[in-house]
Amino acid sequence: MRLQISPKFHSFSLSLALLFVAFAGHAQGIYKWVDAQGKTHYDQQPPASDKASEALKLHSNSSFGGDNNGKVRATEYNADGTKKIPKDVQEMARGLERALKKADPNEVPLDCANAVRNAQDQADTALEMSAKNLKDGYITQADFNNNAAKLRRAKAETTVTSCQVATGRDRAFYQCMSNGNNHFSACVK
């Protein structure tokens, strides 16, 4: 049976931005800098040495009510009752999303066991973060159920056997996931 990677790992995109924000609490070494054109960048790697950067202190929870200076902001709500994500947090999430979508240019040999472990571990993390976002009020139960079902299905279908027989886009996905530096969002094309 041909594995359909793209629908599996892209289909939960409804709360992908929230997941990237949630990953921020677990990320190590996120850097922020502004380029010559005034555009703000976020990345796991510091910028080239000629650019000044700021290592960000990231909160380990998804209670977006505070900032790095300990100031507390009022919680706002969406029409569906979920909490609104502050604009600066949305900006950071977009930056993290862009960074996670960049594949490591160093290709490693296909290693099905490692590729599957990486994909499944990341799916587990996405499930945990989605559950935290539900608990903290940033997504609805229906969104969580929808995303969790898709992630669990994708995880169940991502196996060493499917990797070993994969061709085309599916093989490229497993090849990319063989590199432990890549996030599955960088490997889905």
- Provide the domain count of the chain: 2
60 and 10 within one domain = no
76 and 64 within one domain = yes
**Tell me, what's the pLDDT at 61?**
45
Q: How far is CA 77 from CA 38, 81, 87, 140, 180, in A?
A: 31, 6, 13, 12, 37
Q: Which of 72, 100, 128 finishes a domain? A: 100
SS3 state at 42: strand
Q: Hey, CA dihedral for 163, 168, 170, 175, is it positive or negative?
A: positive
Q: Which of 82, 100, 118 finishes a domain? A: 100
pLDDT reading at 158 higher than 80: yes
Residues 6+ apart with CB under 8 A from 60: 25, 26
52 and 24 within one domain = yes
Highest mean pLDDT among 78-92, 122-136, 159-173 belongs to 159-173
Residues 29-46 as b/e (b if ≥16 CB within 10 A, e otherwise) read ebbbbeeeeeeeebbeee
31 and 86 within one domain = yes
Mean per-residue pLDDT, 91-99: 90
Q: Distance between CA atoms of 7 and 150, rounded to whole angstroms?
A: 9
**Tell me, what's the pLDDT at 74?**
81
**Tell me, what's the pLDDT at 31?**
67
Write out the residue range of the structural domain in which residue 30 sits.
19-100
Q: Which of 85, 100, 115 finishes a domain? A: 100
78 and 10 within one domain = no
pLDDT 10s digits, 26-78: 444 566 777 777 777 766 666 766 556 555 555 444 444 445 555 667 889 99
**Tell me, what's the pLDDT at 54?**
58
